[in-house]
Amino acid sequence: MKRRTAIGVLGGVAGGPLLVPLDEVGRMLVWRERVLGSAGPPGTEGTGGGTGNGDGAISQAASLLTPERAQVMEALAEIIIPETDTPGASQAGVTEFVAALVDGWLDDDDRDRFLAGLDTVDPACRERFGSRFVECAPGEQAVFVRGLDQELTRLREDLAADESQHFFHDVKRFTLTAFFTSDVGLDALGYRTTFRTFEGCAPLTPREAGR
């Protein structure tokens, strides 16, 4: 969080003093962590499409994303990116993507924290609403997700905290990536692979303008 803290301090840059000492050359591990660790590599968003059906390379039977966890994940994802006039996250294959991350991408610590977070969802819902998350009423589910999102917002605004440690941060970024890199997500974005020319100041399409 060192980097974000520095940015926070410098947030009101206008005219103010900027006496932030540059670090000694970034330590390799710090840099590596930044690039490889917690976020996808830069420049990858919106660069492709997905079938949303997974690629069959992941053994579902062996997955640490058990059917129970997958059910919770899929339900959370569908609430974050619901089906509207375009498909939602569950049709984009979010659970296959998350299973791939859990089984072959996340470091053990991050994986365990994420799974432990998912595992708190049903007990919390039972206590609060008397049933598992997927069996809660839509209104109850929304209330529950709003609570998680608000926890994330609080952590984000607290410069001493790290919202990326909260499992719902992972739920959200996994959901967004699964959806927007899938075929259905790219269709919804109006994604095109090639262009006759580059325009620096083009009018929005009706779709981009939300009309």
Site for other proteins in 145-164 (CB under 8 A): 145-146, 149-150, 152-153, 156
d(CA 211, CA 208): 8
Angle, helix 67-80 to helix 108-129, in steps of 10 degrees: 80
CB 69 → other proteins: shortest distance, Å? 19
The only residue of 69, 111, 166, 169 in contact with other proteins, by rule CB under 8 A: 169
* Cβ atoms within 10 Å of 101's Cβ, excluding its own: 19
- Contact between 125 and other proteins per CB under 8 A: no
Q: Cα–chain-centroid distance for residue 112?
A: 17
* Gyration radius (Cα) of the chain, Å: 20
63-122 positions binding other proteins, by CB under 8 A:
79-82, 84, 86, 88, 97, 100-101, 104-105
Is residue 50 a contact point for other proteins (CB under 8 A)?
yes
| 176 sits in which H/E element | helix 167-180
Residue closer to other proteins (CB basis): 130 or 162: 162
How far, in Å, CA of 39 to CA of 62, rounded? Answer: 25
Q: Taking CB under 8 A as the rule, does residue 47 contact other proteins? A: yes
Residue of 61, 62, 160, 204 interacting with other proteins (CB under 8 A)? 204
Beta carbon of residue 128, minimum distance to other proteins (angstroms, whole number)? 18
In angstroms, the CA 130 to CA 64 distance is 26
Binding window for other proteins (CB under 8 A); candidates: 17-25, 67-75, 111-119, 125-133: 17-25
